[in-house]
């Protein structure tokens, strides 16, 4: 039986004195003075909270970064021809599928499954280390409302290299060394200008398509069957639509480069290569050999 205690008597008035079980009467849930009975203490059903995807935003102010200055410093007669390559990032095969191979992967109905590619890297002592990458294609809406899956190809590789080149410009690249984040601001016109320099111009629609593929496809990297990385090629991509551009013609797209690139900028683990020769390569393999 529950022991009753005089200390638990609520004596607002002698005739209204009520004997209660020993509960913490400081909590108003336990006693309803008006109804002279215990209040309902049943737990209410928890309501589900809607979790929205949080997209990171670039720093609002420019950050002075020695690492970014070093990444932007090239040694060449014509600095427009060169850029930097990051071995840790380039070793992950991601641009090996051609548009023709993609068509064979698409079923008659539905969308293709993620594509898995195994590869081997060498350790510090030269021992082989097995890796594999699983590429989840980007679903992109077409003009007729239908969605088609696209894997990254050599076209996206060139756009990524152009974005890295734009990142080296002081007023367009932001590197946050404390958080290991690298952001690039750009427009379609800037990308096309760099493409024309390297004799491989594209239409705005082609550039838009490549940016969508890079920001929506997902790479998952495994080392000895253990997942070690998951992310898009181009992360936290914030685009500018036609209406925003007409309201402010100086508005720029912004995106965060891969964490592999940010880590390389922080630790100086990159090297210079000839960007113009890469854009002239007709096959993915020849471009990969050039950067390896």
Per-residue pLDDT reduced to its tens digit, 95-109? 989 888 988 998 888
> Is the entire prediction scored with pTM above 0.85?
no
* Residues facing residue 82 across a β-bridge: 274
Looking at the fold, whether 129 and 1 belong to one and the same domain comes out as no
Number of residues that this document lists for the chain:
292
What is the 8-class DSSP label of residue 79?
G
Whether 109 maps to a domain, the answer reads yes
What would the mean pLDDT of 153-172 be, rounded to a whole number? 93
Per-residue pLDDT reduced to its tens digit, 215-229? 999 999 999 889 999
Task: Give CA 197 to chain center in angstroms.
Answer: 29
Whether 272 maps to a domain, the answer reads yes
Tokens of 76: 């060449």
What would the mean pLDDT of 233-238 be, rounded to a whole number? 94
Whether 57 maps to a domain, the answer reads no
Looking at the fold, whether 26 and 161 belong to one and the same domain comes out as no
Looking at the fold, whether 36 and 72 belong to one and the same domain comes out as no
| Domain extent at residue 47 | 1-51
How much is the CA Rg of the chain, to the nearest whole Å? 29
Looking at the fold, whether 142 and 103 belong to one and the same domain comes out as yes
Tokens of 129: 């280390």
How many structural domains are present in the chain? Answer: 2
Whether 58 maps to a domain, the answer reads no
Give the pLDDT score at 243.
Answer: 77
Sequence-ordered list of residues with C-beta below 8 angstroms from that of 8, at least 6 positions apart, any chain: 19, 20, 21, 22, 23, 25
Give the pLDDT score at 44.
Answer: 52
């Amino acid at each position: 039986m529950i022991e009753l205690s005089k200390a638990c008597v609520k004596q607002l008035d002698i005739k209204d004195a009520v004997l209660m079980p020993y509960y913490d009467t400081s909590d108003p849930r336990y006693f309803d003075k008006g109804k002279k009975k215990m209040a309902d203490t049943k737990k209410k059903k928890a309501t589900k909270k809607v979790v929205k995807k949080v997209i990171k935003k670039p720093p609002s102010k420019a950050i002075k970064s020695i690492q970014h200055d070093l990444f932007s410093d090239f040694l060449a007669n014509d600095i427009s021809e060169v850029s930097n390559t990051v071995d840790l990032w380039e070793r992950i095969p991601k641009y090996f599928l051609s548009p023709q191979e993609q068509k064979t992967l698409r079923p008659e109905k539905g969308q293709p499954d993620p594509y898995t590619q195994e590869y081997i890297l060498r350790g510090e002592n030269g021992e082989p280390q097995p890796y594999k990458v699983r590429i989840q294609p980007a679903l992109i809406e077409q003009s007729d409302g239908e969605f088609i899956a696209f894997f990254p190809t050599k076209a996206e590789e060139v756009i990524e290299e152009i974005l890295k080149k734009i990142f080296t410009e002081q007023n367009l690249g932001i590197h946050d060394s404390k958080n290991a984040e690298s952001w690039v601001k750009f427009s379609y016109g800037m990308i096309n200008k760099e493409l024309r320099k390297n004799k491989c111009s594209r239409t705005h629609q082609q550039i838009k398509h490549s940016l969508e593929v890079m920001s929506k496809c997902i790479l998952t990297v495994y080392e000895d069957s253990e997942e070690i990385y998951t992310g898009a090629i181009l992360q936290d991509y914030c685009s500018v639509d036609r209406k925003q551009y007409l309201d402010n013609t100086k508005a720029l797209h912004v995106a965060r480069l891969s964490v592999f690139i940010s880590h390389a900028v922080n630790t100086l683990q990159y090297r210079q290569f000839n960007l113009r020769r890469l854009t002239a390569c007709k096959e993915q393999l020849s471009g990969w050999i050039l950067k390896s």
